[in-house]
Amino acid sequence: MKNAKLNVNDEIIELPTFKGSEDEVGIDITSLRSKTNHITIDPGYANTGSCLSSITFIDGEKGILRYRGYSIEELAEKATFTEVCYLLVYGELPNIKERDKFSKSLRKHANLHEDMKRFYDGFPLSAHPMAILSSMVTAMSAFTPESNSWEDDDMDHSMIKALAKVKTIAAFSYRKSQGLPFIYPRTDLNYVENFLHMMFSDSQEDYHVNPVFAEALNLLLILHADHEQNCSTSTVRMAGSSQANLFATISAGIAALWGPLHGGANQAVIEMLDTIKKDNCDYKKYVNMAKDKNSDFKLYGFGHRVYKNYDPRAKVIAKAADRVLNELKLDDPLLEIARNLESVALKDDYFKERNLYPNVDFYSGIIYKAMGIPTNMFTVMFALGRLPGWLAHWHEMVASGTSRINRPRQIYTGSKIRNFIPVEQR
């Protein structure tokens, strides 16, 4: 490709360009400051490419999401979450032998070190499960010395342990918050079934996994598995660029995901729908409030930083929500409110002009609620799904051999040099 030309103070400089496999074009500005003493300003990095990546492709205008070239719709319909984990981390879908070996490794490493379980005693029952998850993932580094190694086998072993143990940590976090005894993983259950078993088993009775729940959870985890350079994934890459160990790096991603503008949005949706329910289900009132410039009300679950079309994940989840509630014979008024909100928004010029379509968070909380998962666990579920994406991006960055410690620039707007004044003279 031809170089890009930039006019700076009447001087033309040339900057290299890159073209991705889907014809995206990027301009390499790494030499801009050294050549011109200028930098670019891009708050929120909305137009800044931080890396070259072969993991996930998004076309926000067309509503396209693909993992390693596979459409999200096809993966959601045909794949298991374990297969998607393998695909994201290793680049290809596993064959039968690879799948079985990978699944066996995940079952083998699912248990936590007994000493780790004592850490849960230090958390109050009121502790948010995300606080517990973040802390416990960080603590895993103390029990996984190979996480400080950059040898291929050690990195692979650390990633396997992360995938295997984080779901156990998540389930134990729920049990802790409910004052329930921990339930150990079983070697005869698959990844999703094991998680449900550890969450909901009665220690006195055998637990039989509801296949409707297992199918729905498999779908939700796949849909959340990766989403390119989002806030938490970018945080993982930034923390990892310092060569922090894998578990500290993943914990940083968990902390970023916790925010209500990111992973916490699905919890905010349920709380919003519940508010509307208590207000006589007057959803039109809240649609009008969302359009009112003088109102502080925010309609959660609509719009997306990347998608200027219908979020492809939302289409899949909306169908799944109908299926789950129908099969469970649940009549959830929140689902009806959600449908009404969606119907109004899709017809309203205000929403259409601003590309405010339902996103992945809009229906996911309804499914989690139907499964009996409390709202304060919703973001933990998001983290469980997003984990393979974080691992894939961390591994891609480390394996590239070209990673540099992240260090953004700034434009300073503070005071110029000042003389220090003794305190008695101020």
Q: Which residues are tagged catalytic?
A: 304, 361
Asked if 60 contacts 355 with a C-beta cutoff of 8 angstroms, the reply is no
Dist CA 382 CA 191 (whole Å): 15
- Going by C-alpha positions, the residue among 184, 101, 183, 173 that lies closest to residue 130 is 173
Q: Give residue for tokens 């503070």.
A: 414
Query: Token digits for 245?
Result: 């160990």
Asked if 170 contacts 120 with a C-beta cutoff of 8 angstroms, the reply is no
Q: What is the 3-state secondary structure (H, E, C) of 301-313?
A: CECCCCCCCCCHH
Asked if 383 contacts 130 with a C-beta cutoff of 8 angstroms, the reply is yes
Dist CA 231 CA 208 (whole Å): 37
Query: Token digits for 280?
Result: 């006589």
> What are residue 354's phi and psi, to 5 degrees?
-100, 5
* Dihedral of the alpha carbons of 73, 384, 387, 183, in degrees to the nearest 10: -130
Q: What is the DSSP letter of 3?
A: P
Side-chain half-sphere exposure of 401, counting CA atoms within 13 A: 2
- Going by C-alpha positions, the residue among 229, 247, 300, 297 that lies closest to residue 270 is 300
Dist CA 9 CA 134 (whole Å): 48
Dist CA 401 CA 229 (whole Å): 19
Report the relative pairing of strands 11-15 and 4-8 from DSSP bridges.
antiparallel
